[in-house]
Chains A and B, each alone.
Chain A
Amino acid sequence: MSKSKIIKVLSMTIVVIALIWTLYPLMWIVFSSFKTPIDQFTIPPKWIPENFTLRNYKIFFSNTEFVRAFFNSIIVTAFSTILALILGIPAAYGLARFKWKHASLLSFIILLARMTPPIVMVLPFFLISRILNISGTYIPIILASSFFSVPFAVWMMQGFFSEIPESIEEAAMIDGCTRFESLRKIVLPLVLPGISATSILCALVSWNEFLFALILTGQETRTLPVLVNMFVSEKNVDWGVMSAAALITVIPMIIFGLLVQNNLVKGLTAGSGK
């Protein structure tokens, strides 16, 4: 066997192992969601459901909170992503373009928010929202989600802006554009793949956010990941319904990921090109 063939086989094997490693829990959830409660813990365990059932999905969809939680997730994800971009893009542009005395320190401080363990930030967010009388509304959870997305957006976009030669902007300004116009008409279209990649990753973070959503949302604003947790009670866990709920929760993001995968790959590659 030639050397290149051996490398090919080895690579394929590693890819298959990585795939199994990644998809194993997801497959377990898929199969469990079609099992009856009795079949969840048979000994020896059975991967494929013996008595295929849609009971778990029926229970989940008949939960009156499902539709509301689904829309809440969409609202929180959309607004926190938009907020992250509104704040992150100008900040990243400023850090990439202008020479500041402590620019690198400032970048690092912005990243500190991303490094802080979420559990540390839950209580201040909760207390502030209570004091401002906005607890249980969308505002605290949107702000909390974007709290972690903004530093991420800043860091990602800073890389994309740095890649655009300053001379392009200077040329635009010589032709009569203001700084803002050159940013809007020249730079932003050039970093569009980067904006797509950043927004996709910010949306993923917000959609899957659990800890803040658990503490900061109320009955009316509860998101899907919190709803999944509602099937764990003091003495029992309804694994089947939980699995169905988990699957329903990840499906929109899988579809979204598949739709935008080209932009994501393009954006990430562009970002790492420098």
Chain B
Amino acid sequence: MRKGRVLVILFVSLLVFANMFSEVNLVSEVGIHTEAWKTVMDDFQKETGIKANIQQFPYANYFDQLMLTFTSGRVDFDVPYVSMLWYPALATAGYIYPINKIEGYEELNLEDISGIENAWQNGNLYFIPYMNELGGVVYRTDLFNDPKEKTAFREKYGYELTPPQTLEQYKDIAEFFYRPPELYGVTLMGQRSIFLATHFLQRLWARGGSLLNDEMKPVFNSKEGIEALEEVGEMFEYANPAAKTYVFQDALTEFTQGRSAMAELWTTAMLYTEDPETSKVVGKSSFIGFPRPEELKDEKLPMLYISWGFTVSSASKNKEEALEWIKFVTETQNEVKAAPYGNIPARFSSINDPAMREKFPWLDGFSKAMENSIPTPMVPLIPEGNSIVNDYIAPAVSEYLSGSKTAEEALNEAADSVSQLLKDHGYYY
């Protein structure tokens, strides 16, 4: 009996002793969602006894730092916090480990996480989303609710002024509020970049089109693609001429300065528009998912989906501690606790939490859009995905906007190049 007690005490002491030295090393960029989850790191240690350490890099070179560290083979972190767009390359190279192979992963409630299907590759789960957002439209509620504007809009277009649910409404509203130089109908991101490509992708998907078919052949030069690209051009007529040089940060600044009625941005924009330090439109804006054509209004279609989340390094010696961290930080209560510091949680239970809704009323539009769409990453989740969108789609959109090519020419040339790229990489012969 006494021997048993001694053994139990020894075992417990051993556990306590082991936990005293347990730690997990996190690596991330400098950004608002990282600042949010950092706020629960102490709670994690209190609850589990595992110390979480973090090293952060400037966003501009974070991915390069990660890749250089992985390729050098001397990895000193367990949990890289990455963009969803990065994980396929990391998984293909074997730098990150399948989370579903770590004991205890079943305790993660995956059903509750929107867009989780994008985190699986070849039957393995590599990525647990923490921050989720959609591409959509942020709009000025003060203008949309102004009785004078409502009357004027009804008189001109014959229907009620409401946040745009169809592409037709979206264009009408942009035209209606186009009052340069004080106010522009819509803010777009026209610099030759991935941001510009998103304007095309959203319209392509909204029309039921796709980038690649099941055989990985490019199909974005379809009739839907050409219409989508032409519509991007039309929408730029209601934007600030300077918008042709904008990226996300510039577009956000224009909207928060109150210089446009709508902006084609992502949900995170709301965290900045509601910040009195940076915005002149606090309490005067909201978010709605990207509109569709009238005839496809009620269809569940792809919508631009951006996610950041946690992965586990293959070189990690603390995989179980890494999983413990992921389980802890993505628990609903912890997501809700951290969100006010700058995050849009990935769990439905978090975004539908009453405290969250009270703090961020615009989550209603986001939640509805998330439920009624197929969250689709802005680049195909293959190692060549970034190149397809950055090197071929974005230049095609830019060439069309500059007038150097027709929509059909620009898309056909891009499709040929993408086809060649995928052929060269062995997707087909």
Interface, chain A (partner B; CB < 8 A): 36-38, 40-43, 55, 123, 126-127, 130-131, 133, 135, 214-215, 218-219, 226, 229-237
List, in ascending order, chain B residues with CB within 8 A of A226's CB: 58
In the complex, the answer to whether A38 meets B280 with C-beta atoms within 8 Å is yes
Give the contacts of B21-39 with A (CB-CB under 8 A): 29-32
In the complex, the answer to whether A229 meets B257 with C-beta atoms within 8 Å is no
Q: Closest approach, in angstroms, between the C-beta of A118 and any C-beta of chain B? A: 14
In the complex, the answer to whether A41 meets B248 with C-beta atoms within 8 Å is no
Q: A-facing mask of B268-284, CB < 8 A → 1, else 0?
A: 11001000011110000
Query: Which 8 residue pairs of A and B lie closest in terms of their CB atoms, listed nearest first?
Result: A130-B72, A37-B278, A233-B31, A229-B58, A219-B55, A230-B30, A130-B74, A41-B253
Q: Closest approach, in angstroms, between the C-beta of A54 and any C-beta of chain B? A: 14
Assuming A38-B277, A43-B257, is B249 touching A236 (CB within 8 A)?
yes
In the complex, the answer to whether B257 meets A233 with C-beta atoms within 8 Å is no
Assuming A41-B253, A41-B257, A226-B58, is B30 touching A233 (CB within 8 A)?
yes
Q: Closest approach, in angstroms, between the C-beta of B322 and any C-beta of chain A? A: 19
Give Cα A230–Cα B55 distance, bound, in whole angstroms.
Answer: 13
In the complex, the answer to whether A218 meets B55 with C-beta atoms within 8 Å is yes
Which of A43, A123, A233 has the most chain B CB atoms closer than 10 A to its own CB?
A233
Interface residue from A127, A214, A231 paired with B72 (Cβ < 8 Å): A127
In the complex, the answer to whether B61 meets A131 with C-beta atoms within 8 Å is no
List, in ascending order, chain A residues with CB within 8 A of B404's CB: none
B56: interface (CB < 8 Å): yes
Q: Closest approach, in angstroms, between the C-beta of B30 and any C-beta of chain A? A: 5
Interface residue from B29, B69, B253, B259 paired with A234 (Cβ < 8 Å): B29
In the complex, the answer to whether A233 meets B29 with C-beta atoms within 8 Å is yes
Q: What class of interface size applies to chain B in its complex with A?
A: 20 to 34
In the complex, the answer to whether A133 meets B32 with C-beta atoms within 8 Å is no
In the complex, the answer to whether B257 meets A235 with C-beta atoms within 8 Å is no
In the complex, the answer to whether B32 meets A233 with C-beta atoms within 8 Å is yes
In the complex, the answer to whether A214 meets B277 with C-beta atoms within 8 Å is no
B157: interface (CB < 8 Å): no
Interface residue from B59, B73, B181, B279 paired with A233 (Cβ < 8 Å): B59
Give the contacts of B231-264 with A (CB-CB under 8 A): 248-249, 252-253, 257, 259
In the complex, the answer to whether A126 meets B55 with C-beta atoms within 8 Å is no
Give Cα A233–Cα B64 distance, bound, in whole angstroms.
Answer: 15
Q: Closest approach, in angstroms, between the C-beta of A251 and any C-beta of chain B? A: 22
Give Cα A214–Cα B63 distance, bound, in whole angstroms.
Answer: 12
List, in ascending order, chain A residues with CB within 8 A of B72's CB: 126-127, 130-131, 135
B1: interface (CB < 8 Å): no
In the complex, the answer to whether B61 meets A215 with C-beta atoms within 8 Å is yes
Give Cα A131–Cα B69 distance, bound, in whole angstroms.
Answer: 11
List, in ascending order, chain B residues with CB within 8 A of A135's CB: 72, 74
In the complex, the answer to whether A214 meets B58 with C-beta atoms within 8 Å is yes
Q: Closest approach, in angstroms, between the C-beta of A99 and any C-beta of chain B? A: 45
Assuming A37-B278, A126-B68, A130-B74, is B268 touching A235 (CB within 8 A)?
yes
Closest to B181 in A: A43
Q: Closest approach, in angstroms, between the C-beta of B308 and any C-beta of chain A? A: 9
List, in ascending order, chain B residues with CB within 8 A of A231's CB: 30
Give Cα A41–Cα B68 distance, bound, in whole angstroms.
Answer: 36
List, in ascending order, chain B residues with CB within 8 A of A214's CB: 58, 60-61
B65: interface (CB < 8 Å): yes
Assuming A126-B72, A215-B61, is B252 touching A236 (CB within 8 A)?
yes
List, in ascending order, chain A residues with CB within 8 A of B56's CB: 219, 230
Q: Closest approach, in angstroms, between the C-beta of B242 and any C-beta of chain A? A: 10
In the complex, the answer to whether B74 meets A235 with C-beta atoms within 8 Å is no
Closest to B278 in A: A37
In the complex, the answer to whether A236 meets B64 with C-beta atoms within 8 Å is no
**21 A-B interface contacts by CB (under 8 A):** A36-B277, A38-B257, A38-B278, A38-B279, A43-B181, A55-B277, A126-B72, A127-B68, A130-B73, A214-B60, A218-B55, A219-B56, A230-B58, A232-B60, A233-B59, A235-B31, A235-B266, A236-B249, A236-B272, A236-B278, A237-B249
Q: Closest approach, in angstroms, between the C-beta of A8 and any C-beta of chain B? A: 43
List, in ascending order, chain B residues with CB within 8 A of A215's CB: 61, 64-65, 68
List, in ascending order, chain A residues with CB within 8 A of B69's CB: 130
In the complex, the answer to whether B252 meets A235 with C-beta atoms within 8 Å is yes
List, in ascending order, chain A residues with CB within 8 A of B272's CB: 235-236
Q: Closest approach, in angstroms, between the C-beta of B59 and any C-beta of chain A? A: 5
Give Cα A126–Cα B266 distance, bound, in whole angstroms.
Answer: 36
List, in ascending order, chain A residues with CB within 8 A of B279's CB: 38
In the complex, the answer to whether A234 meets B59 with C-beta atoms within 8 Å is yes
List, in ascending order, chain B residues with CB within 8 A of A123's CB: 68
List, in ascending order, chain A residues with CB within 8 A of B268's CB: 235
List, in ascending order, chain A residues with CB within 8 A of B55's CB: 218-219
Q: Closest approach, in angstroms, between the C-beta of A179 and any C-beta of chain B? A: 45
Give Cα A23–Cα B59 distance, bound, in whole angstroms.
Answer: 29
